[in-house]
Structure 1
């Protein structure tokens, strides 16, 4: 059983809100002593922050460039979970330095997607650089991966326009992809950090898989469940490869192209890309939601 009781979450954007809520459920049951959310804005300016405060979180407004203030906010904390995304990802260096100075036992950098350990090119090279910094300052850390967020990625930008009955797939669509809802990923992280001793977490990578389906299987599954026919168009993956070369890897179009190419190449199949394998067995009762269920609930 983990001895960690006091946690900090940095950011409550696309995934941080769910992580905060899951830790707060454990706080309500007595498994967690405290949860602090670090933010650049005040609670009164953010509906999500207002919600987590009502659930029992403490919110601390921070300036990631103010080292001493950040150290103060992390003093007495057992583990820091980073949910910083986009340009905020760079703030993890300051966050890690402060965590080291404050004596934090474990740091989870912001991953929540494809396996990035050792990846030194493309979008995920920035993740590897953070890992190297954590090693340099000798701050214990663990990595957590969950593939694609099934409750977020079935949208027109990724080729899924279900309201119009049209699906675009770049490539053949037969490559397995790991899908996990944000809620299920958050539940697993909260369970992991409160049930596994820190010495069994530090230095390790944990990949989880809510479901594993190809794009074609998802189309077939959705049609079987709803009776709705979807018009599927297959386009050459070379179209997305071209966008990758032309767009910044940090621009939205560049990121989407990168992910769509990863779909086709098998880079989002955590069973094959994670040398450690999937960690679902660490919590047999996890019961994550299948990706087709997510689709049917969103578009009944």
Structure 2
């Protein structure tokens, strides 16, 4: 049984709010930290929302101390991940017992460029200040498929700058949130501290997902990838093509891991759960 009683989720966005809701359903104390001046968040009545400057280490640490926070879960966006330096320092000052960095997505070990490199630096910082961590790799959020490939009701083709044939991991946001809440409230610290947990709701390639959507792939050059976060889409598509879209990918050895390092190996920590398929999420 978990020894953790108080949880602080930093960031109330795409995965943050679902995690807040899932933790609240476990009847534990949950605190949501949002940025100063951010929009009002709709949360369960048992959850307290506190607005604070994430870059203000002293202010954040004071919040953690006041609420006797055991576990900090960062869910900040990849573009804002550098703010975790301050969050980690605040967690250290407040004697937080466990920290989950915002690494939901693809494995980052061995990568030395972009936001993935920054995420690796955050993990190194956690180790340097002796805060145990739990990393959760999820692959691509199932709900992000249309965004990544430019699929819409007006243009139903999957636009790819790559072949789209590399196998990758997909996990639904509800499954991610439920898993995180389950393991943090049911498992002992010894099964969570300094662990990498690799989820996989479904394994497929973008090319095969297009078939599920009953559409075709259009291979395009980078200029044809448009819309919000277009540069990020190109980076992700190219990253996926290397094999790194799998939660079991070892970017140092350029191979799939095995055992506890295999894609989806952590699914077993949530016994009896039925993971949502792409078809279920989109009612295909």
1:86 Cα deviation after fit: 4.1
Distance in 1 between the 2:158 and 2:63 partners? Answer: 47
Per-residue CA deviations over 1:59-103 (Å, capped at 9, x if unaligned) read 112123433322221121110000111443222111111111111
Q: 1:67-106 to 2 correspondence within 5 Å?
A: 67-75=57-65, 76-106=68-98
Distance in 2 between the 1:173 and 1:162 partners? Answer: 21
How many residues are matched? 270
Q: What residue is the counterpart of 1:287 in the other structure?
A: 274
Distance in 2 between the 1:168 and 1:85 partners? Answer: 24
Contact 1:167 1:232 in 2 (8 A): yes
Contact 2:79 2:115 in 1 (8 A): no
Q: Indicate how the Cα distance of structure 1 residues 290 and 163 shifts in structure 2: closer, same or farther if over 3 A, else same.
A: farther
TM normalised by structure 2 equals 0.87
Q: Which has the larger radius of gyration?
A: 1
- Larger helix fraction of residues: 1
Distance in 2 between the 1:67 and 1:161 partners? Answer: 41
Is 1:16 aligned to residue 3 of structure 2?
no
- Counterpart selection for 2:194 from 199, 203, 224: 203
Q: 1:1-300 to 2 correspondence within 5 Å?
A: 1-27=1-27, 32=28, 34-41=29-36, 46-47=39-40, 49=41, 51-52=42-43, 54-75=44-65, 76-155=68-147, 158-223=149-214, 230-235=215-220, 239-240=221-222, 252-273=229-250, 275=257, 276-277=261-262, 278-296=265-283
- Give ranges in structure 1 of 5+ residues lacking alignment: 224-229, 244-250
1:127 Cα deviation after fit: 0.4
- Give ranges in structure 2 of 5+ residues lacking alignment: 251-255
Distance in 1 between the 2:173 and 2:34 partners? Answer: 20
TM normalised by structure 1 equals 0.82
Contact 2:34 2:52 in 1 (8 A): yes
